[in-house]
Amino acid sequence: MTLKDVLDKSTQFFKQKKIESPRLDAELLLGHALSMERMQLYLNFDRPMSEGDLSQCRELVKRRSTGEPVAYILGEKEFYGLSFKVNKDVLIPRPETEHIVDETLLWVKNNCIEGEKVKIIDLGTGSGCLAISLAKKIKNCEVVAVDISEEALVVAKKNAEINQVSSQVTFLRSDVLKLDPEVFKGACIVVSNPPYVGASDYIEAGVKAHEPHIALFAEDEGLRLIYDWSQRAINEAKGRNNFFMAFEIGDEHREKLTEFAKNKFSNLGARFVKDYSGLDRVFIVSKNS
Ligand code: GLN
């Protein structure tokens, strides 16, 4: 059997199993099993597969066929052009979360003096993708990344090392509501991708079966932690004359959050940013001097 035969067979198998991107996934997994870039696979189509190669490939293909996400099998995922280690203890970074990085960078550009020290807090950091991308992109910034999961923080710290921002990011294990007020002192930016899936919301079977529920689900139709954490952040920022907060949200949360913002911080007002599918995805509250 050649490499091409295995690739075709795996693709066919994934199709049968209703995997969404069968060819791409087969290429990524075979590339990983054989330590080859995707491009190299094409240049080696005729390579005969040894029994060792075959068993490596078989194992990864089997895992994917049961719905395990490719990122967990590969152990990494790209986010904002950077590479992040992932495992079952952290949510896999998703492209829609990149909007938070974009919006934050834009706000910094328009509201901070170039080179000024900027302090950022990331609530529920998970893999650290938000904290680390911002630390990488903003000159002279200090990030505090908070998570309640010790296991997630192990992954996030590793990612800070890999992306060479360990000296800019401090990791804290805490419940957001129990965070020492000192942590918020001097912070002009709070970002978060909190758990926001409601108990009765639709969620892909592969996500539900493999990604950490602590990072996905929240009470009150997914809104509980968005309410509590955003309110804490806004309270702590009282008295600041410039402040920016961006939370990722579920696409059905806009109406309730508009009402919430009107009741709780009407002087600031809220705005929403859509993701690439046109769904409301980011809840932003800011104050500009
Ligand atoms: N967007 C994710 C999903 O629907 C949920 C992410 C989250 O809860 N923070 O799979």
Q: Residues 18-76: pLDDT tens digits?
A: 999 999 999 999 999 999 999 999 999 999 999 999 999 999 999 999 999 999 999 99
Q: Are 223 and 253 in contact (CB under 8 A)?
A: yes
93: DSSP letter: P
Please report, to the nearest 10 degrees, the dihedral formed by the alpha carbons of residues 80, 82, 88, 90 taken in order.
-50
Q: What is the pLDDT of residue 266?
A: 84
Q: What is the pLDDT of residue 267?
A: 84
Ligand 1 pocket test, candidate residues 98, 197, 202, 229, most atoms within 8 A of CB: 197
Q: Are 49 and 2 in contact (CB under 8 A)?
A: yes
Cβ count within 10 A of residue 49:
18
Specify burial of residue 148 (Cβ count, 10 A radius: 0-12, 13-18, 19+): middle
Domain assignment present for residue 71? The answer is no
Q: Say which residues have a Cβ less than 8 Å from residue 208's Cβ, sequence separation at least 6.
A: 216
Strands 243-248 and 189-192: parallel
**H or E segment to which residue 272 belongs:** strand 270-274
48: DSSP letter: B
Give the residue ranges of the chain where pLDDT is below 70.
none
Q: What is the pLDDT of residues 116-141, one digit of tens each?
A: 899 999 999 999 999 999 999 998 99
Question: Structurally, how many domains does the chain consist of?
Answer: 2
What's the 200 CA to ligand 1 centre distance in angstroms? Answer: 14
What's the 53 CA to ligand 1 centre distance in angstroms? Answer: 35
Residues 151, 99: one domain? Answer: yes
How large a percentage of the chain has pLDDT more than 90? Answer: 95
Q: Are 75 and 86 in contact (CB under 8 A)?
A: yes
Domain C-terminal end among 14, 35, 66: 66
Q: Are 172 and 227 in contact (CB under 8 A)?
A: no
- Determine the structural domain holding residue 259 and report its residue range: 87-287
Domain assignment present for residue 80? The answer is no
pTM of the model: 0.95
Domain assignment present for residue 78? The answer is no
Residues 260, 183: one domain? Answer: yes
Ligand 1 pocket test, candidate residues 147, 176, 248, most atoms within 8 A of CB: 248
Domain assignment present for residue 76? The answer is no
Q: What is the pLDDT of residue 198?
A: 97
Q: Closest ligand 1 atom, CA of 250?
A: 1
Residues 124, 162: one domain? Answer: yes
Q: Are 90 and 215 in contact (CB under 8 A)?
A: yes
Q: Are 279 and 253 in contact (CB under 8 A)?
A: no
**Long-range CB pairs of 178-183, under 8 A, 24+ apart, other chains included:** 179/146, 179/232, 181/236, 183/121, 183/144, 183/146
CA–CA distance, 22 with 17 (Å, rounded to integer): 9
Residue located nearest, by CA, to atom 2 of ligand 1: 216
Residues 91, 231: one domain? Answer: yes
What's the 237 CA to ligand 1 centre distance in angstroms? Answer: 27
